[in-house]
Amino acid sequence: MSSCTIPPPVPHIYPHGYPTRGGQRFDERICSVTPPPTVPARLTAAEASARYAEFTVVDVRTPGEYVGGRLPGALNVPLDRLGEAASALAAAAARGPLLIVCASGARSARGCEQLVALGVEAATLEGGTGGWAAAGLPVERPSGAVARWPMDRQVRLAAGALVLVGFLAGLVWPPAHWLSGLVGAGLFFSGATGTCGMAVLLARLPYNRPPKDARPFEETLARLASA
């Protein structure tokens, strides 16, 4: 029996009922189609705070950003490693809702889209950790931790510096203007695809890498899978 409701056939179009194909009626074929992934939920800081105990909180910033301050109990799975953590995140989502966070909400939104495409439901925190702290909500910050610049700010600084260098160098050697053009093309590609090669490169710098005493990524996956 069909598990969804399809209107009955219009008599003058289908006088003998819905047609069949391969022994299956039209309404049965429609009901057997897998529904498309749902749109990730977006929660404000107040909404997330009211339900905070329900969530497994996943911070998709770089390890360097994460150690500078994070939501209480958040586990660090950098955005570029979400694919590696898909099975562990699916296990965590089976136990309760996931809340994905970053600095401003942009990376967490992209992370949620990736997870939904993999069949893992998740919600993104609007405004990120910045909005959470601005709302007066608690932030975990280990003693001696130094706040790092958010990745989007690092990208803007690096891109702006390269464009400026290309422009100034081009005044002396015109072909150097190509540097500014290449950076502009990269930013256009980033905006069109939602990916950022410069952010991937910057994430590999020592400044953004985890400190020596940070929890190993494998341990984070184990906690997600079994917590």
Q: Which residues are catalytically annotated? A: 102
Q: Which of 150, 119, 120, 118 is nearest to 133 (CA)?
A: 150
- What would the two tokens of residue 224 be? 């997600």
Dist CA 23 CA 17 (whole Å): 14
Q: Tokens 């910050």 map to which residue?
A: 141
- What would the two tokens of residue 22 be? 């391969």
Phi, psi of 140 (to 5 degrees): -80, 125
Dist CA 206 CA 223 (whole Å): 26
CB 85 within 8 A of CB 129: no
Element (H, E) at 100: strand 98-101
Element (H, E) at 99: strand 98-101
CB 6 within 8 A of CB 27: yes
